[in-house]
Amino acid sequence: MPADKSDILQGTLDLMVLKTLEAMGPLHGYGIARRIEQISKEALQINQGTIYASLVRLMQKRWISGAWGTSDNNRKAKFYSITRAGGKQLNTQAENWERISAVIGRVLRMAGQG
Amino acid sequence: MLSWIRTLGSRTRAWLWPDRVDQDFERELSTHLDMLADENIRQGVPPEEARRAARIKLGGVAQLKETNRELRGLPFIETFFQDARYATRILRKNPGFTAVAVLTLALGIGANTAIFSVVYAVLLKPLPYANPDQLVTAFQANTQEGVPETGVSYPNFEEWRAQNHVFSELAGITAHQLTLTGRGEPSVVDTCVVTPEHFALLDVKPLQGRIFYPEDGKQGAPPAVIVSEHLWRGTFGADPKMLGSSIILDKRPFTVVGIMPAGFRSPFLNTKQEVWIPLVQDPLFGNWMARRGGHWLPAFGRLKPGVSIARAQAEMDAISERLASEFPAENKGWTVRLVPLQKEIVGDVRTALLVLLAAVGLVLLIACANIANLLLTRATARSKEIAVRVALGAGRSRIIRQLLSETAVLGMLGGMVGIALAYGGVQVLSSLIPGDVPRLNAIHVDKLVLAFALVLSAIASVAFGLVPAMFSVNSNIGGSLREGGGRSGESRNRRRARSVLAAAEIALAMVLLVAAGLLLRSFSKLTAVSPGFESQNIVKAEVSLPQFQYSKPQQWTAFSDELLTRIQAQPGLQNSAIAIPVPIVDGFINLGFEIEGAAPKSSSESRTADYVSVSPEYFRVMGIPLLSGRIFNQQDIASAPRVTLISKALAERYFPNQDPIGKHLNFGFPPNGEVSREIVGIVGDVRDTSLGNAPGPMMYVPSAQAPFWGADLVVRSTLSTSAVAAAIRQEVRRIDKDLPVTDVGKLPDLLDASVSQQRFRTFLLGVFAGMALVLAATGIFGVISYSVSCRTNEIGIRVALGASRSTILRMILRETLLLTFAGLLIGIPCALLASHLIGHMLFGVSAHDPATLVAVAFVLAAAALLAGYVPARRAMRVDPMTALRYE
């Protein structure tokens, strides 16, 4: 069984994938990985393979759907797009994320003052 | 929740078609690689290098595929199958171990399942009627006179029906035997005598024809009869014109209006139930319908929907109070007792069956402990394998799961063989079950029983699998790896666990053996008890007279006199007598009596005694001693002064320090209740209710002064039973060719049959205790032989240092005894507790009978020593050189 330690990281990656798909429309795995790296200003150098575990999880939950298509330079690739359920999920998770990060930020600042 | 289900769905799909999903993913990855490489090339990296960098960036393809498979598939199921396959392979490699484990388990599961199917059919399965939980029995009770439950008089029954608002219907039912003539040999049919509501209340459909209508129950209605499918197919050869035809019962024609299907039985009558007639048509009970005083009609009813039994009881209490004030002479002190029908039917069989179930449960526990022990032994032998697995990174839960899969495979195999055994066991049990166990439901292995067996094997496999699995995982890896195969590498914990298991087996076996020992002693006392008469060489036969033809007591007397004279004239049959009822075999008739001239009894005291009507020869034939006074003689006839003989118990209880001879008692069989009779003698006590009950007060009257509509013949003869029966049949036919002779049998056999329930449970518990003993001994054997093989080295050193063989033998036997004593120490209080529970089943033995305890302890210790002796001898023969080289 996969270990549970990286839960937060997994969840974060899933959220980023969802957001990317919402912003960019249908994309293939490489495109998603590339986009996340670019947006994060190359601060987040992910092992690109891990994107696929995230995609499988999101597919299983029906938050994204996948279909085979043709890429810009004529390669067969699987394109993922966000579903309506995925959109809703993105909203709630994004809110959650903002709230938690705000709370964590406050706590950390407070600890710094103390 | 929903997303969880979706995930499972998608995973299942991927699990079912793994190849397609795999190929898909591979294509996706290769595209990704190409794209990465393309980008690198665009940045000016040489193609070779570009691809390598791409691969690094993406991560290991094989690893990704593995993760993907794990994410998409159903890893739990996959690993289970993998484990099960592995387990099967391992088990096949150790056929001896597997066979022993599976057989032990199968015995436990099979025995449990077989007993459970009986328990289920008798105790748990709903009665085979519509809405059975609405059915209750309505009996009368009188606490002042110590009558716990009896029937109701017909006039009272009518009042109940008319006045209550809680029953949708009430019906009465009783049994009778009628003579069926006109079809070959005259025969006796077991008749259910019912009020016409009976069938409608039970909501049953006839196979053919109709059920009884209310008109059938009216006075003067044409006699109607419903016959059983069995009688129809048997005696009447499935006659297609049966409906509407007429059959002769007790010399009177009845019109057949219906045929009941073979599966149908009226509740709480354990007779054969061959025909049903309306109460008003019964030659005996029909005449009693007008009398309010009797208590002879058992009644039952169907509660209206939503009415609780408590509410019904309250209403019936009110009705009986009204009846008591309206008819105080007949109804004062009488109340109504409502009991759910199922509870009433099952009665005291419940405890016996539950005890048996508990017993087989213990056997299964012992079996599980045994297998756990075997597995612990193997786990020790495999500790290196497991240590290697742990060292290679197998998770703790993963290893436990694998070990449990092995036991699950064992459990399932055991369960399957067990179910097969159960099928056989149920056959055997069905034939062994005594006739008086109520069986409205047929006993067979059905779906619920199978489910029980499966659950049982699952629980069992976890029970015996978990302990060894836990131990395997918790052992010290480094130690196991170093020790190289674990010959001397058994950890102390594990050794203790094995000893505890073996001791627990002894303790459990002790519980079973003590219970079985007590029942066995009780049973042998029961069968050895003197009933107060000599049953050897006595043949009993019954002739009952149709009441339509033989309606007057004078006819009854004339018939019995002639019959007895004719039989006594036969060579070898001089020692014949007539008696009703014959003790134990026929049951008993309990009547109230008054002592003339004595102070009136207080309301709490009841004077009752068992009543027997006999011919003068009876006491000589049965060997019942005369203690004082005289026996009846030929002068005690109907026109002579009434006389009676009382039993020793009656004399002692009601005439303490007095001579009862010459005093008068007032009693009689209804309707002649108040007849003054002079006591002319005292005879020895007889156990007339059952072998297990101490003799109570009895009073005998001469049959000439108290005739019955039939006769029970008792004949003491050295001739064979069949010869006696043939002679009796021949003489009866000479008097009246239409009279059947029934219930012919040797008295010792009939007495034997009266303890069939006791024999049944004693036998079964004995078998289970035997199984427990063997299993426990096997357990000890396993522990000791394993201990010996672990200590081969140590023993070798001891021998080399000069220990004698007997020292070694003693050393090993001491270990055995230590285990045994530990087991006995735990076992004794448990056994005492358990025997307390079966205390009320015992006869003539205390539940804490020390002799049984000691004997059982000895048997167990002996069995354990024997089991320990075999490996001890092996230890004794250890050659020090071999043992030391072994290392």
Can you spell out the DSSP letters for B360-388? Answer: HHHHHHHHHHHHHHHHHHHHHHTHHHHHH
**By CA distance, what is A75's nearest residue in B?**
B31
SS3 content of chain B, % helix, strand, coil (to 5): 55, 15, 30
Within 8 A of A53 by CB-CB distance, chain B residues are 67-68, 71
A88 touches chain B (CB under 8 A): no
| Chain B: closest CA distance from residue A49 (Å) | 5
Domain covering A7-113, topology: Arc Repressor Mutant, subunit A (1.10.10)
Task: Say whether A76 and B27 touch across the interface (CB within 8 A).
Answer: yes
Task: Say whether B36 and A73 touch across the interface (CB within 8 A).
Answer: no
Interface of B with A (CB under 8 A): 3, 6-7, 10-11, 24-25, 27-29, 31-32, 34-36, 38-39, 57-61, 63-64, 67-68, 70-72, 75, 395
Q: What is the C-alpha to C-alpha distance for residues B51 and B20, in angstroms, rounded to an integer?
A: 26
| Chain B: closest CA distance from residue A104 (Å) | 29
Instruction: Report pLDDT digits (tens) over B392-446.
Output: 767 777 778 778 888 888 888 888 898 888 888 888 887 777 766 666 567 777 7
The predicted structure's pLDDT at residue B483: 52
Q: What is the C-alpha to C-alpha distance for residues B180 and B740, in angstroms, rounded to an integer?
A: 9
Select from A34, A47, A53 the Cβ nearest to the Cβ of B71: A53
Q: Give B215's DSSP letter.
A: G
The predicted structure's pLDDT at residue B886: 57
| Chain A: closest CA distance from residue B758 (Å) | 58
Number of neighbours of residue B203 by Cβ within 10 angstroms: 13
The low-confidence residues of chain B, meaning pLDDT below 50, are 484-489
User: A59-68 burial, b if ≥16 CB within 10 A, otherwise e?
Assistant: bbbbbbbbee
A50 touches chain B (CB under 8 A): yes
In the numeric block, which tokens belong to residue B722? 């069949």
| Chain B: closest CA distance from residue A29 (Å) | 7
- What is the radius of gyration, based on Cα positions, of chain B? 38
* Mean pLDDT in residue range A80-108: 88
| Chain A: closest CA distance from residue B482 (Å) | 30
Q: Return the biggest CA–CA distance within chain A.
A: 59
The predicted structure's pLDDT at residue A58: 87
The predicted structure's pLDDT at residue B16: 67
Instruction: Find, among B389, B372, B392, the residue nearest to B470 by Cα.
Output: B372
SS3 content of chain A, % helix, strand, coil (to 5): 60, 15, 25
Per the CB < 8 A criterion, the answer to whether B816 and B872 are in contact is: yes
| Model confidence at A73: pLDDT above 50 | yes
Task: Please report, for chain A, the start and end positions of each structural domain, with discontinuous segments joined by +.
Answer: 7-113
Within 8 A of A1 by CB-CB distance, chain B residues are 70, 75, 395
Stretch (H or E) spanning B38: helix B18-42
Instruction: Report pLDDT digits (tens) over B320-371.
Output: 999 989 988 888 888 899 999 888 877 767 777 888 888 888 888 888 888 8
Task: Say whether B58 and A53 touch across the interface (CB within 8 A).
Answer: no
Assembly ipTM: 0.82
Confidence (pTM): 0.68
The predicted structure's pLDDT at residue B678: 94
**By CA distance, what is A73's nearest residue in B?**
B35
Task: Say whether B70 and A30 touch across the interface (CB within 8 A).
Answer: no
Instruction: Find, among B680, B704, B686, the residue nearest to B588 by Cα.
Output: B686
Number of neighbours of residue B674 by Cβ within 10 angstroms: 9
A74 touches chain B (CB under 8 A): no
Q: What is the C-alpha to C-alpha distance for residues B61 and A102, in angstroms, rounded to an integer?
A: 38
Interface with A, mutate which of B28, B70, B77 (most A CBs under 10 A) = B28
| Model confidence at A3: pLDDT above 50 | no
Select from A29, A34, A49 the Cβ nearest to the Cβ of B59: A49
Residue B531: half-sphere exposure toward Cβ, Cα within 13 Å: 23
The angle at the Cα of B131, spanning B130 to B137, to the nearest 5 degrees, equals 100
